[in-house]
């Protein structure tokens, strides 16, 4: 079989890979993207973890479960009476699957539009040569491709607890957590990170009794302390049980009888939790399964991540790696930025990713979002700063929405007033954070935000007011 020659071969069709392929094609390179993800019918399902079992489906379920909670608990405040309220979990899951499929199909359409050649199968390194690297595709497509440049974007897999396998029936990863067929009466989550809190929220809202077991003594240690405290208050009120400082011991999968989790609590006492299902969300590990890096001598580190420099160059000339399979936060938008930057570097341009302005979002209710440094980081770094906060309680739009939990917090340099971090817990934090990212990209001062006209009434006025608060001159609080 003749090799198919490409300028750029991208291995992996998640947000890092598919975006890199589109950008490479836009820049005039003949580009291939290899991805093995299949949907239930065995058809290509590009988009990676994000599209298939991550960002997109979790947001679909978060929306459904939030609607249900609103109908049951908050519609009455608006004078809307609801009787006979029920939720059809099968339909909720089917809707989520339909949203995923729209995104899969959207990516296939974008490949066609941009003339990216798509190959459905697993891509692995076969050998390097004078013309570039040979990539073997095995799956629906059986081909050998040659790429002058190769971009590896193979993503990550859930980290399992030692000795506790995911069966996706009782012991669930993010995958199984998104397709539980009926509401479990009792659900345990191990790890109170991003996945734990989002999935815990979904299943609590539709009726599960949820307990989150977290090893660390602090709640959301990476989040600004004041914001994490505010979020914790809201989660406690909602009935999400969070136990910190625990040490998880034996996790016994008892089949039809559920799961028994032995653990030591923060006081050192031995405890046991019997639940129907457990979601293990203790982080993710880089994925190079089947990539065959040894064939070309591609270097991995001790965690299994592909070693790259700050420009995403690997130890091999013309081989690049982006996203979850390399260092840095495992976030879809970080992978996308790296993918674009790499395609531009291949074209001899100056692709750029600013790691200091990558926003974080946790899609709970209230949402949590931030960019830049936290107050505790600024203290640790010995930076003199000023802080301004503004509560949504004092924001007219938030009152009208009926969602006044939380605040916006702006941290600015004490001397120059440059914004060093913005932290939000509250309604639509995921959308509000963009203004802060733009401001920080342009190295704005808090005074800049304070002087910009914000639409009234809008939640974004809370950001303006928090910026005013840095100079102790809020107008509405």
Tell me how far apart the terminal alpha carbons of the chain are, to the nearest angstrom: 72
Q: Which residue is nearest to ligand NAI (CB)?
A: 193
Q: Is 198 helix (H, G, I), strand (E, B) or coil?
A: helix
Rule CB under 6 A: say whether 215 interacts with ligand NAI.
yes
How far apart are alpha carbons 363 and 58 in whole angstroms?
A: 9
Rule CB under 6 A: say whether 361 interacts with ligand NAI.
yes
**Near ligand NAI by CB under 6 A: residue from 53, 107, 178, 213:** 213
Query: Residue ranges of the alpha helices (H) in 347-460?
Result: 375-380, 396-401, 429-441, 446-451
Q: Which of residues 399-428 bind ligand NAI (CB under 6 A)?
A: none
Contact code string over 6-35 relative to ligand NAI, x by CB under 6 A: ------------------------------
With CA atoms as reference, report the closest residue to 325 among 342, 316, 312, 337: 312
Rule CB under 6 A: say whether 196 interacts with ligand NAI.
yes
Query: Considering beta carbons, is residue 61 or 330 the nearer one to ligand NAI?
Result: 330
Query: Considering beta carbons, is residue 113 or 229 the nearer one to ligand NAI?
Result: 229
How far apart are alpha carbons 167 and 164 in whole angstroms?
A: 9
Six-digit token string for 32: 């291939």
**Near ligand NAI by CB under 6 A: residue from 8, 150, 190, 291:** 190
* Minimum distance, C-beta of residue 212 to ligand NAI, in the bound complex (Å): 9
Contact code string over 128-167 relative to ligand NAI, x by CB under 6 A: ---------------------------------x------
Rule CB under 6 A: say whether 82 interacts with ligand NAI.
no
**Near ligand NAI by CB under 6 A: residue from 120, 204, 205, 284:** 284
How far apart are alpha carbons 101 and 38 in whole angstroms?
A: 11
Q: Is 456 assigned a catalytic role?
A: yes
Q: Which stretch binds ligand NAI (CB under 6 A): 7-15, 17-25, 279-287, 386-394?
A: 279-287
**Near ligand NAI by CB under 6 A: residue from 7, 134, 143, 214:** 214
Six-digit token string for 246: 């625990």
Active-site annotation holder among 70, 352, 454, 456: 456
How far apart are alpha carbons 218 and 227 in whole angstroms?
A: 13
* Minimum distance, C-beta of residue 183 to ligand NAI, in the bound complex (Å): 21
How far apart are alpha carbons 422 and 411 in whole angstroms?
A: 6
Angle at 198 between CA 159 and CA 54, to 5 degrees: 55
| CA 156 to chain CA mean position, Å | 12
Q: Is 341 helix (H, G, I), strand (E, B) or coil?
A: helix
Angle at 165 between CA 159 and CA 169, to 5 degrees: 105
Number of residues located near ligand NAI, criterion CB under 6 A: 24
Peptide bond between residue 232 and the one before it cis (omega within 30 degrees of 0): no
Rule CB under 6 A: say whether 281 interacts with ligand NAI.
yes
Query: Considering beta carbons, is residue 177 or 343 the nearer one to ligand NAI?
Result: 177
How far apart are alpha carbons 270 and 364 in whole angstroms?
A: 30
* Minimum distance, C-beta of residue 143 to ligand NAI, in the bound complex (Å): 32
By the criterion CB under 6 A, which residues form the site for ligand NAI? 161, 190-196, 198, 213-216, 248, 281-284, 329-331, 361-363
- Residues serving a catalytic function are 456
């Amino acid at each position: 079989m003749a090799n198919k020659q490409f300028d750029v071969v991208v291995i992996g069709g998640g947000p890092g890979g598919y975006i890199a392929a589109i950008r490479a094609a836009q820049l005039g390179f003949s580009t291939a993207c290899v991805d093995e993800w299949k949907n239930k019918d065995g058809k290509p399902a590009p988009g990676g973890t994000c599209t298939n079992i991550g960002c997109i489906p979790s947001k679909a379920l978060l929306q459904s479960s939030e609607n249900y909670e609103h109908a049951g608990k908050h519609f009455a405040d608006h004078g809307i009476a609801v009787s006979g309220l029920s939720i059809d979990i099968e339909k909720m899951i089917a809707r989520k699957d339909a949203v995923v499929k729209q995104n899969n199909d959207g990516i296939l359409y974008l490949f066609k539009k941009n003339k990216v050649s798509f190959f459905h199968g697993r891509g692995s390194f076969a050998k390097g040569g004078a013309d570039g690297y040979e990539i073997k595709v095995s799956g629906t497509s059986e081909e050998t491709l040659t790429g002058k440049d190769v971009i590896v974007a193979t993503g990550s897999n859930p980290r399992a607890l030692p000795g506790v396998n995911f069966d996706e029936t009782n012991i669930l990863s993010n995958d199984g957590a998104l397709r539980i067929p009926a509401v479990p009466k009792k659900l345990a989550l191990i790890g109170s990170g991003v996945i734990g809190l989002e999935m815990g929220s979904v299943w609590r809202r539709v009726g599960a009794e949820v307990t989150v077991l977290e090893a660390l003594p602090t709640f959301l240690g990476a989040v600004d302390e004041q914001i994490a405290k505010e979020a914790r208050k809201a989660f406690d009120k909602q009935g999400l049980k969070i136990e910190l400082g625990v040490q998880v011991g034996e996790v016994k999968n008892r089949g039809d009888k559920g799961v028994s989790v032995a653990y030591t609590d923060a006081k050192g006492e031995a405890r046991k939790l019997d639940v129907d299902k457990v979601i293990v969300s203790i982080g993710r590990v880089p994925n190079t399964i089947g990539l065959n890096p040894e064939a070309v001598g591609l270097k991995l580190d001790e965690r299994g991540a592909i070693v790259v420099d700050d420009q995403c160059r690997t130890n091999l000339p013309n081989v690049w790696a982006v996203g979850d399979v390399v260092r840095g936060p495992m976030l879809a938008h970080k992978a996308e930025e790296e993918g674009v930057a790499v395609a531009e570097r291949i074209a001899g341009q100056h692709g750029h990713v600013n790691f200091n302005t990558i926003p974080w979002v946790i899609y709970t209710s209230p949402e949590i979002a931030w960019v830049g440094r936290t107050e505790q980081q600024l203290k640790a770094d010995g930076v003199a700063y000023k802080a301004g906060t503004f509560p949504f309680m004092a924001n007219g739009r938030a009152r009208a929405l009926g969602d006044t939990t939380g605040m916006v917090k702006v941290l600015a340099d004490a001397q120059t007033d440059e914004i060093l971090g913005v932290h939000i817990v509250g309604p639509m934090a995921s959308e509000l954070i963009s203004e802060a990212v733009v401001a920080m990209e342009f190295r704005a001062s808090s005074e800049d935000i304070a002087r910009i006209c914000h639409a009234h009434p809008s939640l974004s006025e809370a950001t303006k007011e928090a910026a005013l608060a840095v100079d102790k001159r809020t107008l509405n609080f």
